[in-house]
Every structure is written in C-alpha cells, then in structure tokens.
Amino acid sequence: MNVLASYIQYIVEIFTDPLLLFNMMWATLLGILVGVLPGLTATLGVAILTTLTFGFPAKTAIAMLVGVYIGAIYGGSRTAIVLNIPGTPANAATTVDGFPLARSGNAGFALNVATIMSGIGSIIGAIFIVTLAPLLGKLALQFGSWEFAVLAIFGTIIAGSLTAPKDPLKGWISGFLGLMISLIGLDEITSYPRYTFGNIQLYGGIALLPVLVGVYGIPEILTSLKRVTKPEVALDFSKTAGGLSYWKTIAKNWINIIRSGIVGVFIGVIPGVGEDVASWVSYDLAKRSSKEPEKFGNGSIEGLSAAETANNACVAGAIIPVLTLAVPGSAPAAVLLAALWIHGVRAGPLLPIEHPEMIGNVAAMFTVATLLMVVFGLIITRLFLKILLVPTEILMPIIFVLCIVGTYVLNGRMFDVWIMLLFGLLGYFMRLNDFPAAPFVLGFILGPMADTNIRRALMLSKGSLMPFVTRPISLVLLIAMVLVMISKYIPKKRGAKSE
C-alpha cells in the first residue's frame, strides 16, 4: 500500500473511531502532564504507558504511545518557560529564552509560541516520516549482518560523542557498558546461558523496561528528593500579547522554523541522539544566523522558536530509524521500539513487507497527536501548571510507586523490580559522575543486534574481517565512526597544547 494513502486513510480512521480518538486524547494529555512535571521524562512516560497498554489492540497502543511521546516533549516546555527547569531534557534550550520572556510578564505569549512551534516542528516531522522512512526502508533492505553489526557500534559511539560533548570518553564508556550488560541471558545463536549463574530468571535476559525506568526514573526521584533549594516560579501572565502577533512571529521566523525542523528530524534519525541535542544544535544555528544575536539568552523569540521546533521535529526523526532499522533515534523511541515488539509489530527492514501500512499509519498518529497537542496546549495547559504548586516531596513518592508498579506488571515478578532498582543505582552513580544515560540505554538495546550480527558476519566470511571494509554501506559507517571519534579527540589535544 502506498505510504501516503495509508497515511490519509488512517487519519480518517482515527477521526471516525471515537474510542481511538478518546484514547489518543487522554494519552496526549498524560504526555503533557508528564512533560510538565520536572523529573518525569518522555522516556519514563512512554515506559509507564507501555505497561498500561498491554491489553489494547496494537495500533491503538502505538497511537497512544506516540501521543504520550509528543505530549511529553512538548509539555516539558511549560516548566522550562515558567520555572526555568526543563520538564524533560529536550527542553533545556527552551529555558534560555523562555524563562526571560516569562519573567518579563510575557509568560502567556512565550507558552503559546512554544505550543505553535512544537506543532509546526511535529508536522515537519510527520512529512519526513511519510517521505524519508520509505527511502530508508529500501536502503535497509540492502543491509546484511556486516552493516547491522557496524550500525550498532556506530550508533552507540555517536550517541556517546553527542550526549557527552565535554568528555566523549564517558559517553563511549557508557555505551559499551550498555552493550556489555545486554549480553546477559540466553545467547540467540547457540542458546548458551551467558552470565546467568543458573538463575532461571536471568535466562530470558534483562528486560528493557526495568533498565529504562531504573536508569532514567530512579536517579531523578532521588535527585529531586534530596534537593534542598526550591526553584523560582514565573507564572506571570500580566502582559497580553499586545504588539506581539503569532502570525508575525511565524512569518518573521519562517526560515528559522524550517531549518530547525529539518535539523531536528535529521538529528533524530541519528541513533541514540535525542531531542535535547536537536534543540541545542538548532538554537545554536539560529543564534549564528540571527540579525539580533544579542537578544539570545534575554528572551529571544527566535531562540525559543528554534528550540521548540527542533525538539518536536526530532521526535519524528527518532521514530524513522525505529520503523525502518529497528534502531531507536532517542531514548523514548527506544521504549517505543520495545512497545512495538510487545504488541507484535516487528520493526525493521521487514516492516514495509509485513505491515506495509504501518509507516503511513504512524505518520497519521503523529499528525493527529500533534493537532491534539496544539489544541490542549492552547486551551488547557495553563491549568496543568497548577500542578507545579504541588511540592516535589509529595510527587516523587507517588512517581516511585508508579515506577515500581510499572516494572512489576511487565512480567508479574519482583525480580524485575530489583533489576530496576539495581539499574537505578547504577544510573544515579553515572549521573553523579557525568556519564550520560542515553548511550548506555542505546548500547543495551543494540547489544543483541551487534552480538548476533558480528558472529553471523564472521561465520559467513569464515572469520575474515574484509567484508566490513569492502561492503560500501559498512565502509561508510566505519569511516563516519572513526571521523566522529577523531573529531572529538583532536580539538582536545590542540586545546591542551595551547594551555
């Protein structure tokens, strides 16, 4: 089926199925709530909702997860603007200009601009899902074991480089730790139990959800509970839009918006590099090309627009490799990938063959969730901000219970809860020492893919490593990987010499 046809058909289906639309509505609202609450990330939101959607039909569940993902990335902008605390890491760049705007009495205008830009970013993203995903899908069909093996390592390294720009070594360590730990459990080729020590619970390996909830949720809960200082709230809606017009803002910023959207999508496509990187890169590009760079950091509409357009466009970008390569573009996309598996949809190169309508359908889910997000954003998120008046000391114990319950219901066993806590401890330790969590999670997800494909490639070539450099796609990925590593290393050496 044509991607565009399935896209349009599913949009009609959503709007003519009240139950599906209702489920998407509450999921998107839940996502916005998750984003509004500092400490709850989009990853955690998607993970918790995954446990709640076990009983739903696959497409309904995926539509809801897309809704919560988009809602959460957008919702994080609310706290970034009024609290100067990004609700999710994706909104860190939003604080730079959003908070000064809010403090100057333009909170309402800043919140609405962020809503509109997030909506535009998501729509740009949906366009790319329809156009880019089928192309990437065709390319993915040419992938053999060599390419998949290199892609897994490439994704982990690039995620490490981009999520730890000050110290990429820590990003790489984090990624390879994830790759290493993912090998626990029955080996997929020989069924040999690796690192199980006779424990039957470990035979199936460590599930992704406890790892994700642990690495992202527990450190945030502990950090929030131990924090003594309280943030300043800038819920100042005293100024009306006045001379500030939304249409004029869009018209004045259209190049910035389109550029940020495209940058967001392409950064999203890179494995493991999430919305936070996309918004910072777009923010930086907007500042460099602005006629008023001095306004950046002091309430620049351009800066706010760039950050918010890019992070929502990045969501679509992150979903594209999930669908076509089964490689997540970001941490929440990784949970989405796990959710697809749970619901019997095997993402990857075979997806267009097994579920030809799925790419178009996901783009349709994306579009509808975006519309819902914009409507909710413009109408009721100010109400959601009231929740910020609830102290974190009360919210975090509730979130802890949700993390425990969400992990337990996965398999109905306490073992997963203990695994989650163990990874929570590791996540907290890593956060304290500035190790990024994203490459660890990506490594954990890509580990089995790397393992089976490296060995399968070696078996096919009878131990020869030559196909890794003689096959064009594999060679390109290898060169890119080496360049990324070298580019991170050389400037540091030069800097050290100059010091």
Partner 1 sequence: MQRDKITALAFIGLALFFLIGALQMPKQTEYGRYGAPGNVPVVFSTIVIVLNLVMFLRKKRQDDSTKRVEEKKVIATENKRLLVSVIVCLAYVLLLGHLNFIVLSSIFIATLSLIFYRKKPILIVVASILVTYGIYYIFDKLFLLPLP
Q: How many whole angstroms from its chain centre is CA 413?
A: 28
Task: Supply the minimum distance, in Å, between the C-beta of residue 73 and partner 1.
Answer: 24
Residue 479 CB neighbours (<10 A)? 11
Name the segment binding partner 1 (CB under 8 A); options: 115-123, 179-187, 246-254, 307-315: 179-187
| 198 versus 463: smaller Cβ distance to partner 1 | 463
**Residue 147 within binding range of partner 1, rule CB under 8 A:** no
**Residue 139 within binding range of partner 1, rule CB under 8 A:** no
Task: Supply the minimum distance, in Å, between the C-beta of residue 147 and partner 1.
Answer: 17
Helices 331-342, 437-460: inter-axial angle, 10-degree rounding: 60
Task: Supply the minimum distance, in Å, between the C-beta of residue 190 and partner 1.
Answer: 5
Among 38, 424, 435, CA closest to 227: 38
Task: Supply the minimum distance, in Å, between the C-beta of residue 382 and partner 1.
Answer: 23
| Burial (CB count within 10 angstroms: exposed 0-12, middle 13-18, buried 19+), residue 20 | buried
| 195 versus 341: smaller Cβ distance to partner 1 | 195
Contacts of 351 (CB under 8 A, 6+ apart): 137, 323, 324, 345, 358, 359
| 145 versus 305: smaller Cβ distance to partner 1 | 145
Write down the H helix ranges in 290-327.
301-325
Strands of 254-338, DSSP E: none
| 55 versus 198: smaller Cβ distance to partner 1 | 55
Give bridge partners of residue 193 from the DSSP assignment. 186
Contacts of 225 (CB under 8 A, 6+ apart): 392, 393, 396
According to CB under 8 A, which one of 65, 80, 326, 454 is a site residue for partner 1? 454
Amino acid making up residue 315: V
Task: Supply the minimum distance, in Å, between the C-beta of residue 189 and partner 1.
Answer: 5
Q: How many whole angstroms from its chain centre is CA 219?
A: 18
Strands 185-186 and 193-194, how do they pair?
Answer: antiparallel
Name the segment binding partner 1 (CB under 8 A); options: 46-54, 128-136, 371-379, 467-475: 46-54
Token pair, residue 88, equals 């999710």
Token pair, residue 48, equals 């918790």
Which x/- pattern over 353-392 shows residues binding partner 1 (rule: CB under 8 A)?
--------------------------------------x-
Among 154, 151, 172, CA closest to 163: 172
Query: Read out DSSP for 412-427?
Result: T-HHHHHHHHHHHHHH
| 462 versus 497: smaller Cβ distance to partner 1 | 462
**Helix (H/G/I), strand (E/B), else coil: 193:** strand
According to CB under 8 A, which one of 97, 220, 308, 451 is a site residue for partner 1? 451
| 246 versus 400: smaller Cβ distance to partner 1 | 400
386-425 positions binding partner 1, by CB under 8 A = 391, 393-394, 396-398, 400-402, 404-405, 408-409, 412, 414, 417-418, 421
According to CB under 8 A, which one of 136, 169, 207, 484 is a site residue for partner 1? 169
Unique residue bearing structure tokens 């009721």: 380
Task: Supply the minimum distance, in Å, between the C-beta of residue 429 and partner 1.
Answer: 8
Token pair, residue 6, equals 């399935």
**Residue 116 within binding range of partner 1, rule CB under 8 A:** no
Size of the site for partner 1 (CB under 8 A): 57
**Helix (H/G/I), strand (E/B), else coil: 204:** coil
Give the separation between CA 202 and CA 200, rounded to whole angstroms. Answer: 5
**Residue 194 within binding range of partner 1, rule CB under 8 A:** yes
**Residue 22 within binding range of partner 1, rule CB under 8 A:** no
**Residue 58 within binding range of partner 1, rule CB under 8 A:** no
Which x/- pattern over 221-260 shows residues binding partner 1 (rule: CB under 8 A)?
xx--xxxxx-------------------------------
Residue 201 CB neighbours (<10 A)? 15
User: Applying CB under 8 A, which residues contact partner 1?
Assistant: 51-52, 54-55, 169-170, 172-173, 176-177, 179-180, 183, 187, 189-190, 192, 194-195, 221-222, 225-229, 391, 393-394, 396-398, 400-402, 404-405, 408-409, 412, 414, 417-418, 421, 429, 433, 435, 447, 450-451, 454-456, 458-459, 462-463
